[in-house]
């Protein structure tokens, strides 16, 4: 089995599927389609157009009870990160190896190892854009009619060999702060937009800080532009105090906000601190996901124990955002994350454990057989 895992994961990782001007998930989706024709030809394929040639894919049967939800995209390469798969003892390094191509390989190999009757109980959703704007899952919100009605659960096959269920909400937003220009030799005569932006950032971090057993989580500024706007381009003017500043922010949050309530909160913080917001755009707002009925999760744990594995439940408050929650809420089917152990998602040192993929295959196979 180890050789099968390495061969499949090497193929998956070697196909770059980050999203930028030259690359996306198209080549990976073609590989997956070809792989199903050879290895699991009995599941019926449905394609759902997302954007241009980008598409989601369903592989299902009328008897499908378990749907593995696998996002095909990865984040962009980190600085200094090599492409392809690198093997060092039990660790398989590579972009997307843990998030989530290792779990994808485990699910594919688990299902392909079953007999025809058990294969029919499993299904797959491969979807686009999870790491970016969730366009793939947004598309599914209006295209779920082909998903079998007798589903028992959705499984996102990426975790650290623990079960995670439920997730925080997610908000991404941009704020433009207005300053007042002055000669850089006399900055006190102006209002430095960049300084005001970072002052607002500090106030927002105080407002949106949450403690849990991993430590303290807070809002993150993920990008900024500071300078003077000239013909639609922000430029530094070395003899002027910047009167333009734009910040891009990301926030995982454990409770719901409407767009209006969230905007009101930010404007109120700015007003209290004498900061003038020129404009604010909430780009994405996702509510926290919850699992009301955990019976299927308890069943998964019992069946994992049957084959020798004691699986722990993760604290839902520790989970980041999982866009499978969107599909779960609209079709009213519980979801959870479980996948092989690994570390360092979204960094140049990302890896997944080879032996843990083997263990995950055994757990998935037994769960499908016994469900």
Q: Are 340 and 1 in contact (CB under 8 A)?
A: no
Q: Quote the tokens at residue 312.
A: 């722990």
Per-residue pLDDT at 319: 67
Per-residue pLDDT at 215: 60
Per-residue pLDDT at 166: 83
CA distances (Å), 199 to each of 158, 205, 275, in order? 37, 10, 8
pLDDT per residue of the chain (371 residues) written in tens, 0 to 9: 899 999 999 999 999 999 999 999 999 999 999 999 999 999 999 999 999 999 999 999 999 999 999 999 999 999 988 889 999 999 999 999 999 999 999 999 999 999 999 999 999 999 999 999 999 999 999 999 999 989 999 999 998 999 988 888 899 999 999 999 999 999 999 999 999 999 999 999 999 988 765 566 789 999 999 999 988 899 998 999 999 999 999 998 888 899 999 999 999 999 999 999 999 999 999 988 888 888 999 999 999 999 999 999 886 666 678 899 999 999 999 999 999 999 999 999 999 999 999 999 999 999 999 99
Structural fold of domain 169-286? Alpha-Beta Plaits (3.30.70)
CATH 3.40.630.10 fits 2-167+289-370, yes or no: yes
What is the C-alpha separation between 350 and 344, in angstroms, rounded?
4
Q: Quote the tokens at residue 236.
A: 């530094």
> What are the structural domain ranges in the chain?
2-167+289-370, 169-286
Per-residue pLDDT at 213: 55
Per-residue pLDDT at 3: 95
Q: Which residues contact 312 (CB under 8 A, 6 or more apart)?
A: 162, 163
Per-residue pLDDT at 218: 85
H or E element in which residue 6 lies:
helix 2-14
What is the C-alpha separation between 121 and 371, in angstroms, rounded?
9
Per-residue pLDDT at 154: 97
What is the C-alpha separation between 253 and 112, in angstroms, rounded?
38
Q: Cα angle vertex 287, ends 258, 225, to 5°?
A: 70
Secondary structure (3-state) at 118: helix
What is the C-alpha separation between 250 and 208, in angstroms, rounded?
11
What is the C-alpha separation between 236 and 102, in angstroms, rounded?
44
Per-residue pLDDT at 18: 96
């Amino acid at each position: 089995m180890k050789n099968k895992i390495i061969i499949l994961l090497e193929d998956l990782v070697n196909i770059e599927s980050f999203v930028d001007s030259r690359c996306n998930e198209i080549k990976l989706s073609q590989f997956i389609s070809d792989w199903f024709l050879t290895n699991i030809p009995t599941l019926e394929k449905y394609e759902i157009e997302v954007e241009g040639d980008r598409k989601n894919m369903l592989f299902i049967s009328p008897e499908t009870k378990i749907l593995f939800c696998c996002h095909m995209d990865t984040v962009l390469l980190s600085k200094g990160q090599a492409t392809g798969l690198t093997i060092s003892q039990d660790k398989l390094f590579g972009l997307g190896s843990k998030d989530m191509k290792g779990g994808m390989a485990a699910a594919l190999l688990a299902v392909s190892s079953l007999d025809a009757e058990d294969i029919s109980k499993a299904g797959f959703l491969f979807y686009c854009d999870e790491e970016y704007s969730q366009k793939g899952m947004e598309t599914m919100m209006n295209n779920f009619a082909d998903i079998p009605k007798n589903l028992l659960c959705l499984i996102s096959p990426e975790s650290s060999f623990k079960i995670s269920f439920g997730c925080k909400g997610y908000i991404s937003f941009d704020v433009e702060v207005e300053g007042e220009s002055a000669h850089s030799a006399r900055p006190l005569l102006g209002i430095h937009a960049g300084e005001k932006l970072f002052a607002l950032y500090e106030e927002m971090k105080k407002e949106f800080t949450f403690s849990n057993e991993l430590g303290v989580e807070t809002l993150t500024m993920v990008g900024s532009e500071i300078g003077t706007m000239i013909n639609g381009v922000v430029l530094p003017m070395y003899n002027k105090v910047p009167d333009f500043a734009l910040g891009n922010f990301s926030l995982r949050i454990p409770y719901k906000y409407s767009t209006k309530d969230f905007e009101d909160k930010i404007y109120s913080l700015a007003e209290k601190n004498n900061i003038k917001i020129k404009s604010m755009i909430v780009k994405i707002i996702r509510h926290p996901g919850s699992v009301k009925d955990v019976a299927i999760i308890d069943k998964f744990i019992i069946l994992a124990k049957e084959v020798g594995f004691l699986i722990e439940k993760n604290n839902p408050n520790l989970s980041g955002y999982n866009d499978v929650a969107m599909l779960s809420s609209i079709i009213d089917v519980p979801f959870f994350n479980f996948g092989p152990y690994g570390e360092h998602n979204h960094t140049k040192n990302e890896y997944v454990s080879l032996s843990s993929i083997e263990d995950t295959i055994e757990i998935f196979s037994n769960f499908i057989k016994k469900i």
